[in-house]
């Protein structure tokens, strides 16, 4: 596909906040921290931030004699103000998890066998370097692909780009936020970033579409959500499941899965037909209203009722509630947005609705990021690849982010050896077998590799397939790239700094990447050696007191969250091509996609099958916290939620162990049934992240079932390459013999 | 004198269990036990008109604590500010109080072999901090304060906003953890997690082995409080137990 617009420009404009390229390093210990207490004992208190998930809440680590005694929330943190969730509070159980990867390991058996021998770091890094050089000369540098995730992945991204490969892809895009970022960027000229700039605290009405705040715990977001409800803000929850949030809602809309766009179009229809959208705002800031008006004319609540199975009067009533509360409507853009493959268009519909309510840049709606000036080392230019990316970002998937890449595109390219062979994967901070759907495909890709290097804290299943395993220090033992949170209402810089020295022979990610750079002769891309050096450079234009930053963990700046606060230096309000909110998207039109979102039916479950839906529990993060002893004690396995009537029809009862089989015959580990009226009859829900298959995770092994293993199909979003994952169907097998895993 | 209490706002609680883990970490509660825990109610009603909420449980520091009367050694006592405490030096881990508590707020700590429970983080209060659960609560749903201070959050919630106690006609011993929220939510909690009648224990084997016959005789009479006072006095003179409880 030939694309006649400036992609680079699109993404330069649209990357909202949060990510800064650069470098960090380790500090001498013994900074002047304020004293803390453990019981009656004086201890040192280190301010850092959490990595039990990606929200990076402020943490205080109480340390005595080189041991972290306790973690608690850091009251000085501008975003989380001393609050910390169950996972954050349980961080020491990750630090002291006896199953941690302790030493560099070299594979000693067959791939998948999990047999390794302990080697030294020198051996490990020499081996890694030699293999990379060999692959480079044999297949070119592009044959090496990086699968990064998380803050510290910055170092590996820099390393790999310097090495000469454009192939890096993280699940945060194509398995998570990608469609949302693209959908909002198409409309407003910029995406949302993380933390999400949703002004829950000031909202009069909160709208959640599939977002399950409460089970999905990002501390400050939960706080703002709860405070808003307590203040009297109304709540609309669209979810086929009676979630924690739904139980607090004024309107719970148990939508038929896959029909969200129909609901959104009907809401838009009512707002326009009844003239209750924000007319001044639209007249001033938006283009494309006439096209939108005629597009949605036929999408009445009555039309939507037959599709969504939601009563037309409820659709109308909720639209009226939005019209009344505007612009203080916090329509949450969601986070994990890869559902049905039409996800960019659903995000577009949400963005359009947000615009009609005048909420973007308004108090109680979506606030604006505040740019912070940071210092940067000048790095040599990265080598340009003549062969281009293998994952389809920018070509097959025209609006995929080149910064974040398309994981599934890279997996497919590895399997096919096209457009060129991919022979090595470097995996950092994620478990590719759980984070990317179509596990069998991922395993097929791994079979094609000459080299799989895994940098991880715990022996996740993928470690069994690795040639080289590099044990990383946990977030409590390392420096990471400081967080520059521009998308927070009060923007801030926050440090992640070690509370203690790394245990065993684990090493921080930055150190591993820096060492590799030295061995590969790429020192110029890592022009720093101490944390002071790097931090000083980064913060040069910020005028922060570094001593204060280290002691408090974070320093905040004044935000300019609303349109009326904006300064000229903040750049254009709506950095789209037209400089206006694009209700109608000329860019999508140009690329051959619908310029206005349309509802296209998704396949229904076949008879006897449920649609598999999934989500989070408040005490676990992804598939990475199940081996944490404290969290395991709170929730050691997931359950299959089945509607009461459906369970009766199937003759399954509460607590009964069943096996789930999907449309392609993939089977789950045994999972217990939760019989509940809190879910629609046509879907089955489970919490993501369970059913670990690594025996080395002694606590988590074979507890509960993995939803990812039942995702043998995906519906790829043609606009940006995201994998819609809610297109898998499962039936319930009650005969456990037949359901045994092979 | 203060009268300490807590209020849990069910409108705000999302059942995330941050309180449980923060507390466990603060007080080194062994894995599998808790001083405060969170339970989801079932989903009541008919689709799509449903109802569910969370029950946050802990020691209620009752006006008339059932646990104190049953403690044979006087280890459990109530301070003037209303906080029910356990003197670990006196506790023999007999578990009578565990049985007695209508709110199942106590457990025997298997490491120290003594009873353990919420004491409103007394040690933190002395340092001017809030209880660990209150400080960490992601929904800002937990409030601690003095019911005799009309400016406190808890005073307003209890006396002005109608936060209620989990009491039944059977068990009404004046719990000081209050629940604020929609009536149907509070009722659902009360229906599904009602306080049970204090259970009078059978003769416990644990403390029979430990406690001197003299004390046994004293405890044998119904005036348990007197026996406890007696035991307290006895303890002052001689050390029967190793003090391994305090950090």
Please name each of the domains of chain B with its CATH number. Answer: 4-192 (3.30.70.20)
Per-residue pLDDT of chain B (247 residues), as tens digits, is 899 999 999 999 999 999 999 999 999 999 999 999 999 999 999 999 999 999 999 999 999 999 998 899 999 999 999 999 999 999 999 999 999 999 999 999 999 999 999 999 999 999 999 999 999 999 999 999 999 999 999 999 999 999 999 999 999 999 999 999 999 999 999 999 999 988 765 544 334 433 434 444 444 433 444 444 444 444 443 333 333 333 3
Answer whether residue A399 is part of any domain: no
According to DSSP, the β-strands at A144-147 and A492-494 are unpaired
A98 touches chain B (CB under 8 A): no
Specify whether A557 is located in the same domain as A706: no
Reading the block at residue A106, the tokens are 């070299």
Answer whether residue A630 is part of any domain: yes
Looking at the complex, report in whole angstroms how far the Cα of residue B117 sits from the nearest Cα belonging to chain A: 16
Chain B interface mutation, best of A42, A67, A221, A226, highest count of B Cβ atoms under 10 Å: A226
Specify whether A465 is located in the same domain as A480: no
Q: How far apart are alpha carbons A570 and A369 in whole angstroms?
A: 9
pLDDT, average across residues A372-378: 93
Q: Which residue of B has its CA nearest to A619?
A: B16
Specify whether A670 is located in the same domain as A701: yes
pLDDT, average across residues A12-21: 40
pLDDT, position A737 = 59
CA angle in degrees (0–180, nearest 5) for A129-A131-A132: 65
pLDDT, position B225 = 45
Specify whether A80 is located in the same domain as A162: no
Answer whether residue A253 is part of any domain: yes
Interchain proximity A677–B12, CB inside 8 Å: no
Interchain proximity B138–A72, CB inside 8 Å: no
Q: Which residue of B has its CA nearest to A87?
A: B18
According to DSSP, the β-strands at A424-428 and A144-147 are parallel
pLDDT, position B1 = 80
Tokens 């850091």 map to which residue?
A74
The upper half-sphere exposure of residue A280, i.e. CA atoms within 13 Å in the direction of its Cβ, equals: 3
pLDDT, position A7 = 53
Torsion angles phi and psi, residue A191, rounded to 5: -80, -165
Interchain proximity A86–B141, CB inside 8 Å: no
The upper half-sphere exposure of residue A466, i.e. CA atoms within 13 Å in the direction of its Cβ, equals: 29
User: Cis omega before residue B176 (within 30°)?
Assistant: no
Q: How far apart are alpha carbons B149 and B154 in whole angstroms?
A: 9
Specify whether A250 is located in the same domain as A351: yes
Interchain proximity A242–B52, CB inside 8 Å: yes
Q: What is the DSSP string of A347-398?
A: HHHHHHHHHHTT-BTSTTSBPPP-------PPPPPPPPPSS--SS-BTTTBT
Checking if the pLDDT of A1 tops 50, the result is no
Specify whether A512 is located in the same domain as A501: no
A652 touches chain B (CB under 8 A): no
Specify whether A424 is located in the same domain as A311: no
Which CATH number does the domain housing residue A466 bear? 3.40.50.740
Q: Which residues make Cβ contacts (< 8 Å) with residue A707, sequence separation at least 6?
A: A612, A614, A686, A688
B42 contacts on A by Cβ (under 8 Å)? 676
Within 10 A of A402 (CB to CB), how many other CB atoms are there?
16
pLDDT, average across residues A527-531: 84
Chain A interface mutation, best of B41, B139, B157, highest count of A Cβ atoms under 10 Å: B139
Q: How far apart are alpha carbons A224 and A222 in whole angstroms?
A: 6
pLDDT, average across residues A267-289: 98
Structure pTM? Answer: 0.92
Which CATH number does the domain housing residue A302 bear? 3.40.228.10
What's the DSSP call for residue B150? T
B123 contacts on A by Cβ (under 8 Å)? 39-40
pLDDT, position A736 = 67
Interchain proximity B25–A643, CB inside 8 Å: no
Residue A490 three-state SS: coil
Looking at the complex, report in whole angstroms how far the Cα of residue A584 sits from the nearest Cα belonging to chain B: 36
Specify whether A143 is located in the same domain as A245: no
Looking at the complex, report in whole angstroms how far the Cα of residue A247 sits from the nearest Cα belonging to chain B: 6
B25 contacts on A by Cβ (under 8 Å)? 70-72, 89-90, 92, 630
Q: Which of A37, A230, A732 is nearest to B137 (CA)?
A: A230
pLDDT, position A266 = 98
Q: Is A275 left (phi over 0), alpha (psi -120 to 50) or beta?
A: left
pLDDT digits (tens, 9 = 90+) for A594-641: 999 999 999 999 999 999 999 999 999 999 999 999 999 999 999 999
**Whole-number mean pLDDT of chain A?**
93
Q: Which of B141, B92, B95 is nearest to B240 (CA)?
A: B92
Range of the domain at A654: 610-733
Residues 615-634 of A with CB under 8 A from B: 618-619, 629-631, 633-634
Interchain proximity A85–B48, CB inside 8 Å: no
Looking at the complex, report in whole angstroms how far the Cα of residue A583 sits from the nearest Cα belonging to chain B: 34
- Angle of the A289-296 helix axis to the A260-273 helix axis, nearest 10: 110
Q: Which residues make Cβ contacts (< 8 Å) with residue A315, sequence separation at least 6?
A: A253, A263, A266, A267, A270, A301, A304, A305, A308
Looking at the complex, report in whole angstroms how far the Cα of residue A47 sits from the nearest Cα belonging to chain B: 16
Torsion angles phi and psi, residue A648, rounded to 5: -65, -45
Specify whether A497 is located in the same domain as A511: no
CA distances from A254 to A81, A166, A209, A680, B45 (A): 34, 43, 10, 7, 15
pLDDT, average across residues A335-342: 97
Checking if the pLDDT of A42 tops 90, the result is no
Reduced to 3 DSSP states, what percent helix, strand and coil does chain A have, rounded to the nearest 5?
35, 20, 50
Specify whether A124 is located in the same domain as A77: no
pLDDT, average across residues A184-211: 96
Answer whether residue A599 is part of any domain: no
pLDDT, position A567 = 95
Q: Which of B97, B90, B64 is nearest to B78 (CA)?
A: B64
Domain end marker among A337, A366, A395: A366
Q: Which residue of A has its CA nearest to B44?
A: A677
- Compute the count of residue pairs across chains A and B with CB atoms less than 8 Å apart: 137
Q: Which residues make Cβ contacts (< 8 Å) with residue A450, sequence separation at least 6?
A: A131, A135, A423, A424
Question: Residue A11: which pLDDT band, with cuts at 50, 70 and 90?
Answer: low
Reading the block at residue A13, the tokens are 């404009």
pLDDT, position A9 = 55
Looking at the complex, report in whole angstroms how far the Cα of residue B47 sits from the nearest Cα belonging to chain A: 6
Reading the block at residue A118, the tokens are 């302990």
Q: Which of A699, A564, A124, A200 is nearest to B12 (CA)?
A: A200
Answer whether residue A739 is part of any domain: no
Q: How far apart are alpha carbons A22 and B54 in whole angstroms?
A: 45
Q: How far apart are alpha carbons B143 and B135 in whole angstroms?
A: 9
Q: How far apart are alpha carbons B99 and B83 in whole angstroms?
A: 19
Specify whether A339 is located in the same domain as A431: no
CA distances from A26 to A124, A616, A676, B24 (A): 21, 34, 51, 32
pLDDT, average across residues A453-477: 97
Answer whether residue A481 is part of any domain: yes
Which CATH number does the domain housing residue A52 bear? 2.20.25.90
A213 contacts on B by Cβ (under 8 Å)? 14
Answer whether residue A460 is part of any domain: yes
Answer whether residue A617 is part of any domain: yes
Q: Is B103 in contact with B175 (CB distance < 8 Å)?
A: yes
Checking if the pLDDT of A26 tops 90, the result is no
How many domains is chain A partitioned into structurally?
4
pLDDT, average across residues A180-204: 96
Interchain proximity B14–A82, CB inside 8 Å: no
Looking at the complex, report in whole angstroms how far the Cα of residue A113 sits from the nearest Cα belonging to chain B: 32
pLDDT, position A623 = 94
User: Cis omega before residue A419 (within 30°)?
Assistant: yes
According to DSSP, the β-strands at A657-662 and A729-733 are antiparallel
pLDDT, position A6 = 54
Question: Exposed e or buried b for every residue in B125-144, given b needs 16+ CB within 10 A?
Answer: beeebbbbbbbbbbbbbbbb
What is the ipTM for the molecules in this complex?
0.93
Specify whether A333 is located in the same domain as A236: yes
């Amino acid at each position: 596909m030939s694309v006649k617009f400036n992609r680079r420009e699109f993404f330069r404009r649209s990357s909202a906040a949060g990510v800064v390229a650069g470098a960090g390093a380790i500090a001498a210990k013994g900074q002047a921290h304020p004293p803390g207490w453990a019981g009656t004992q004086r201890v040192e208190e280190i301010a850092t931030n959490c990595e039990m998930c990606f929200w990076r809440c402020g943490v205080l680590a109480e340390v005595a004699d080189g041991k972290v005694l306790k973690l608690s929330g850091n009251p000085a943190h501008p975003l989380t103000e001393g609050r910390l969730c169950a996972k954050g509070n349980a961080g020491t159980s990750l630090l002291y998890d006896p199953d941690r990867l302790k030493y560099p390991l070299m594979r000693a058996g067959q791939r998948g066998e999990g047999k390794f021998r302990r080697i030294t770091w020198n051996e490990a890094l020499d081996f890694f370097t030699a293999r990379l050089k060999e692959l480079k000369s044999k297949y070119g540098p592009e044959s090496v692909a990086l699968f990064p995730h998380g803050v510290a992945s910055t170092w590996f991204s820099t390393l790999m780009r310097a090495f000469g490969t454009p192939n890096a892809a993280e699940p945060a895009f194509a398995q998570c936020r990608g469609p949302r970022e693209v959908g909002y960027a198409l409309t407003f000229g910029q995406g949302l970033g993380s933390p999400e700039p949703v002004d829950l605290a000031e909202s009069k009405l909160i709208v959640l579409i599939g977002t399950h705040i409460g089970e999905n715990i990002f501390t400050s977001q939960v706080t703002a959500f709860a405070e808003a409800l307590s203040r009297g803000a109304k709540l609309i929850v669209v979810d086929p499941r009676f979630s924690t949030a739904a139980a607090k809602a004024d309107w719970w809309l148990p939508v038929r899965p896959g029909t969200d766009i129909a609901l959104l179009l009907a809401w838009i229809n009512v707002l326009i037909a009844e003239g209750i959208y924000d007319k001044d705002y639209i007249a001033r800031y938006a283009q494309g209203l006439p096209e939108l008006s005629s597009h949605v004319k036929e999408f009445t609540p009555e039309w939507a009722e037959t599709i969504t199975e939601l009563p037309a009067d409820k659709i109308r009533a909720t639209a009226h509630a939005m019209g009344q509360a505007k612009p203080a409507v916090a329509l949450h853009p969601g986070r994990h947005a890869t559902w049905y493959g039409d996800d960019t268009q659903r995000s577009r519909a949400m963005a359009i609705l947000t615009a009609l309510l005048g909420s973007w840049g308004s108090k109680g709606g979506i606030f604006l990021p505040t740019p912070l000036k940071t210092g940067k080392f000048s790095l040599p230019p990265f080598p340009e690849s003549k062969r281009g990316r293998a994952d389809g970002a920018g070509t097959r998937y025209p609006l995929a982010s080149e910064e974040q890449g398309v994981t599934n595109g890279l997996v497919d390219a590895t399997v096919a050896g096209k457009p060129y062979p991919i022979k090595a994967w470097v995996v950092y901070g994620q478990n590719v077998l759980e984070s990317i759907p179509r596990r069998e495909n991922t395993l097929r890709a791994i079979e094609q590799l000459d080299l799989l290097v895994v940098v991880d804290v715990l022996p996740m299943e993928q470690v069994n397939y690795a040639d080289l395993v590099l044990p990383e220090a946990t977030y409590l033992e390392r420096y990471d790239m400081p967080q520059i949170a521009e998308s927070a209402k009060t923007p801030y810089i926050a440090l992640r700094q070690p509370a203690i020295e790394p245990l065993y022979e684990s090493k921080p990610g930055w150190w591993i990447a820096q060492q590799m750079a030295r061995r590969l002769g790429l020192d110029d891309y890592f022009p720093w050696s101490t944390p002071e050096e790097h931090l000083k450079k980064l913060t040069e234009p910020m005028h922060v007191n570094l001593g204060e930053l280290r002691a408090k963990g974070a320093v905040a700046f004044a935000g300019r969250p609303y349109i009326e606060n904006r300064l000229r230096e903040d750049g254009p309000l709506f950095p789209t091509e037209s400089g206006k909110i694009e209700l109608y998207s000329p860019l999508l039109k140009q690329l051959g996609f619908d310029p206005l979102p349309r509802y296209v039916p998704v396949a229904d479950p076949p008879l006897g099958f449920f649609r598999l839906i999934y989500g989070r529990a408040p005490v676990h993060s992804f598939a990475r916290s199940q081996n944490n002893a404290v969290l395991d004690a709170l929730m050691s396995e997931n359950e299959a939620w089945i509607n009461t009537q459906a369970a009766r029809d199937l003759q399954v009862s509460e607590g009964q162990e069943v096996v789930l089989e999907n449309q392609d015959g993939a089977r789950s580990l045994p999972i217990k049934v939760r019989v509940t009226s809190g879910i629609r009859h046509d879907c089955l829900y489970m919490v993501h992240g369970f059913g670990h298959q690594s025996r080395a995770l002694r606590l988590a092994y074979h507890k509960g079932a993995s939803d990812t293993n039942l995702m043998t199909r995906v519906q790829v979003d043609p606009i940006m390459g995201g994998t819609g994952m809610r297109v898998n169907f499962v039936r319930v097998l009650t005969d456990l013999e037949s359901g045994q895993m092979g | 004198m203060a009268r300490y209490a807590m209020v849990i706002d069910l409108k705000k609680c999302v059942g995330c269990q941050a309180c449980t883990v923060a507390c466990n970490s603060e007080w080194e509660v062994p894995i599998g036990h808790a001083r405060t825990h969170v339970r989801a109610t079932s989903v009541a009603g008919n689709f799509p008109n449903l109802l569910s909420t969370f029950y946050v449980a802990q020691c209620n520091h009752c006006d008339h604590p059932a646990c104190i009367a049953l403690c044979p050694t006087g280890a459990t006592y109530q301070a003037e500010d209303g906080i029910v405490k356990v003197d670990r030096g006196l506790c023999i881990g007999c578990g009578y109080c565990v049985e007695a508590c209508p709110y199942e707020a106590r457990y025997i700590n298997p490491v120290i072999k003594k009873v353990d429970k919420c004491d409103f983080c007394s040690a933190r209060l002395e340092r001017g901090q809030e209880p660990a659960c209150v400080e960490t609560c992601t929904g800002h749903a937990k409030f601690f304060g003095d019911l005799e201070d009309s400016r406190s959050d808890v005073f307003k919630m209890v006396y002005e906003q109608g936060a209620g106690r989990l009491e039944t006609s059977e068990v009404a011993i004046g719990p000081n953890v209050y629940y604020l929220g929609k009536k149907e939510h509070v009722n659902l909690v009360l229906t599904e997690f009602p306080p049970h009648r204090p259970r009078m224990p059978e003769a416990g084997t644990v403390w029979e082995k430990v406690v001197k016959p003299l004390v046994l005789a004293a405890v044998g009479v119904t005036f348990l409080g007197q026996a406890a006072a007696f035991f307290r006095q006895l303890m002052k003179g001689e050390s029967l137990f190793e003090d391994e409880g305090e950090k």
